[in-house]
Chain A
């Protein structure tokens, strides 16, 4: 649905993004991740036809964003960062304007506006001035204007920025409900958000794509081992070596000893479950096994490993 190929944008001597390529399949929700200033907004703006790229192509629903801009714009809903809205208009007339500009006919408009307000839970504020609304409501009005007219593709730039935790949860479930009906690309730097909402991620750092794919694949790719957290009361050195000797264990890391209880992180090859062997080892040596649990790898760790790795590589360069 969205195909980005070798996209580059420079502002004078400054290159914001360089050779960015990725694609998004129909009905997918993809998270566009990166630290602040990585080039997320620049990419989004090019996708939304707000500004042209210096080089490279973007095709949305088969149309080129530069040469067939109007056809693309008919098929997208865009929510820019910081949600710019007309503060002097009331919610319902504003959405009516958006629907009309997007070419929704007079007969259908009232129904479409009502539906968008209902989906975004803003029906109760429809007669208020947008300028008087709280940040959370404004964000939802912004989402409503994006989904009005049922565009095939939604481009959402930081849709949960500046919201309180309750509002964030609401917006997330709203975005989740958009899957299937729309293809969504959303940018964020809040990582748990992506693991909750998105099926795939594209990670950008310093203007270039550093990783992309389904979250599970990325986790496997960057963390090829499974990890266990183990607490055993016993002589630390012996426990460490005993566990290290179990076939399949790649590394054992001691996290410290308190009151004779040692904490360890045991890494083993993925798909190789060593919990039984650790239990057997403890039983055989008459150590008490106090805790044994699997540690999931979060996207956050993947992200930090990728971005930090990039930076380390940068610093190593002369």
Chain B
């Protein structure tokens, strides 16, 4: 499996074109703004709670800062990940470079793995920038590191799922915009499907709730590490990558 050269090539392409810089910068800007407003609100609330000890008992950093921050970050990801992945296959198809790539002595699986890992590493770099925020919090308040760690694990798994879906959409078309909108559409549907769970009720409600991408992420941010959630994301990634591989194969037959 020659995954490494493909991975290197994708990383190089991310960083020689402006895409990576713009996506990372916009992500850092919005995540920073969210952190600032959440943290400022928390500061205000803690000051007010000094007059009202009953309120102070309700207040803790994990629930008031870490959880809302992680859930806000996942919204940004919903918008930005499609832009990170749209290029991966669509651009190769549009420019015809896929014809060379798929005639080099590498398996389609290795091409897919290289591209997936490149997007995942870029995403991990984005997440790494946000490590600054727990760093700031810990300077002013007592922070429980457990939920922070599981929160990051959750974000990583969720982002990995988004990327897998994005790769699949990118393999279906040669138009980057189409790839990005398709990814966004699929992700948003899987996101809001959880909302109907509340009134669907019964067995259906349970199924819908289990399908929802967001639902599973919330547990991580609470500090709950449930194998059910981990398996959900890993299953999802495997399914999306499998479909991508099939889509690539179908393209070969169609020519």
Name A's B-contacting residues (CB within 8 A): 9, 11, 42, 45, 48-52, 70, 73-74, 76, 78, 80, 82, 84-90, 93, 97-98, 100-103, 129, 145
Contact = CB atoms under 8 A, between A and B. Distances in A.
Nearest to B15: A88
B13 interface: yes
B12 A78 contact: no
13 contacts: A50-B102, A50-B252, A51-B252, A78-B99, A89-B9, A90-B16, A98-B104, A101-B2, A101-B6, A101-B105, A101-B106, A102-B104, A103-B2
B100 A74 contact: no
B201 interface: no
A97 B100 contact: no
B104 A101 contact: yes
Nearest to A98: B104
B90 to A, nearest CB: 14
B100 A80 contact: yes
A52 B16 contact: no
A86 B105 contact: no
A267 B138 CA distance: 99
Contact of A89 (B13, B104, B106, B107): B13
Interface of B: 2, 4-6, 8-9, 12-13, 16-17, 95-100, 102-107, 252-255
A84 B100 contact: yes
Contacts of B95: 84, 86-87
Given A88-B16, A102-B105, 19 more contacts: A9-B255, A11-B254, A49-B102, A50-B99, A50-B103, A51-B253, A52-B252, A70-B105, A70-B107, A74-B105, A76-B103, A80-B99, A85-B97, A86-B95, A101-B6, A101-B104, A101-B106, A103-B2, A129-B16
Nearest to B9: A97
Contacts of A9: 255
A124 to B, nearest CB: 21
A100 B103 CA distance: 14
A86 B104 contact: no
A93 B12 contact: yes
A100 B255 CA distance: 26
Contacts of A76: 103
Contact of A78 (B4, B17, B103): B103
Most-contacted residue by chain B among A84, A90, A103 (CB, 10 A): A84
A84 B99 contact: yes
Contacts of B9: 86, 89, 97
B44 to A, nearest CB: 47
Contacts of B5: 97, 100-101
B248 to A, nearest CB: 12
Contacts of A98: 104
B129 to A, nearest CB: 24
A103 to B, nearest CB: 6
B255 to A, nearest CB: 4
Nearest to B18: A88
A134 B116 CA distance: 33
Contacts of B253: 51-52
A11 B104 contact: no
Contacts of B100: 78, 80, 84-85, 145
B99 A100 contact: no
A287 to B, nearest CB: 63
A76 B96 CA distance: 18
Nearest to B251: A51
Contacts of A145: 100
